[in-house]
Amino acid sequence: MQKFFSRLSNLFKAEVVIEPKLAPLISEQGVVDSRICGLMDAVQSGWFNQASGELVAGFPIASNDVVLDVGCGDGAATLFAARCGAEVIFSDSNAEKIAKLSLIVKSVPARKWQALVCETDPLPLPDGRASRIIAMEMLEHVDDPAQVLAELVRVGQPGALYLLTVPDPVGEHVQQQIAPAVHFQKPNHIHIFERDHFAAMISNAGLKIENRQSSGFYWTMWMCLYWASAPQQQDATLDQIKQPYPPLLNEWANTWHQLMLTPDGNKVKEKLDSFMPKSQIIIARKP
């Protein structure tokens, strides 16, 4: 467990724009923090491995890489790459998020950095600009995912590695039954990618798939419980939901934390992650 806290601490050092200081996992009142619990779950799934330099297993980042993070949001992936000493280019259509992320990137050891406020199609970058391309949880928001993928392929160098994630269809179909309709309307989730279709779309873009993974059952259940607890809320994406959380979510975080402390907790987690993950993850390479 100590290695998880160490890696979480490193992550939060880069995410002070999101959280001013590292909150304890368990408060003085005995409440397990949902976000910290979720980060611990991600680390246990292989994310943010500073020791190996892998953003996720199979996606290493080195200081000589040029990393492009499109739809970067609050910037966890960008900041991880910056801490690896890479050159980072991060883009988002939200100017406020780009401004906040730019401030914190200055304090981490990126070799060089560039911030872009833009849509992903087109990107104001030359052909073959990046050696690592990250598009996490953004293709479900765009009008033409295939065209966006083509643009990402254009800006990748020969041999570039791609980390592409979208919400998994199992959890999305469950949430369709309980979430407000706005959750599946523009600018939110306007596409649900079945697993085979997502893989075929990436292959059709000219990329060779090297690795397929899934993770995040914890967050799928968290969102389902959120809709049950706050059906009147119209906040439609995970990063828009702010504290204080409904008590049911604190209970869920506590239950998951207790499960992870049991001898077989990780085995249970792996099975649930494969059954109803938050994200389907594909690592692919440009020939």
End-to-end CA distance of the chain: 39
Q: HSE of 89 in the Cβ direction (CA atoms, 13 Å)?
A: 21
Question: Is pLDDT above 90 for 235?
Answer: no
Handedness of CA 183, 90, 39, 30 (dihedral sign): negative
Which two tokens mark 105?
Answer: 């990137």
**CATH 3.30.70.1230 holds for 2-285:** no
- Please choose, from the candidates 168, 142, 167, 171, the residue with its C-alpha nearest in 3D space to the C-alpha of residue 70: 142
3-class state of residue 64 by DSSP: coil
Contact 152, 70 (CB under 8 A): yes
At 234 the pLDDT is 61
At 231 the pLDDT is 64
At 22 the pLDDT is 38
Q: What is the mean pLDDT of the chain?
A: 89
Confidence of residue 30 (pLDDT cuts 50, 70, 90): low
Find tokens 């050092």 and name the residue. Answer: 13
Task: Report whether the peptide linkage leading into residue 244 is cis, meaning its omega lies within 30 degrees of zero.
Answer: yes
At 26 the pLDDT is 67
Residues 56-76: what's their mean pLDDT? 97
pTM listed for this prediction: 0.90
At 244 the pLDDT is 83
Pairing assessment for the beta strands 66-70 and 130-136 based on DSSP bridges = parallel
Buried b / exposed e across 132-146, counting CB within 10 Å, b at 16+? Answer: bbbbbbbbbbbeebe
Q: What is the enclosing helix (H) or strand (E) of 29?
A: none
> Is residue 52 classed exposed, middle or buried when 0-12, 13-18 and 19+ CB atoms within 10 A define those classes?
exposed
CA–CA separation, 46 and 48 (whole Å) = 7
At 246 the pLDDT is 87
CA–CA separation, 26 and 37 (whole Å) = 9
122-148 pLDDT tens trace = 999 999 999 999 999 999 999 999 999
Greatest Cα pair distance in the chain: 54
Find tokens 């160490």 and name the residue. Answer: 6
Confidence of residue 232 (pLDDT cuts 50, 70, 90): low
Task: Report whether the peptide linkage leading into residue 246 is cis, meaning its omega lies within 30 degrees of zero.
Answer: no
DSSP 148: H
Extents of the domains making up the chain: 2-285
At 242 the pLDDT is 81
Task: Please state, as a whole number, how many other Cβ atoms lie within 10 Å of the Cβ of residue 3.
Answer: 11
CA–CA separation, 68 and 79 (whole Å) = 12
DSSP 33: P
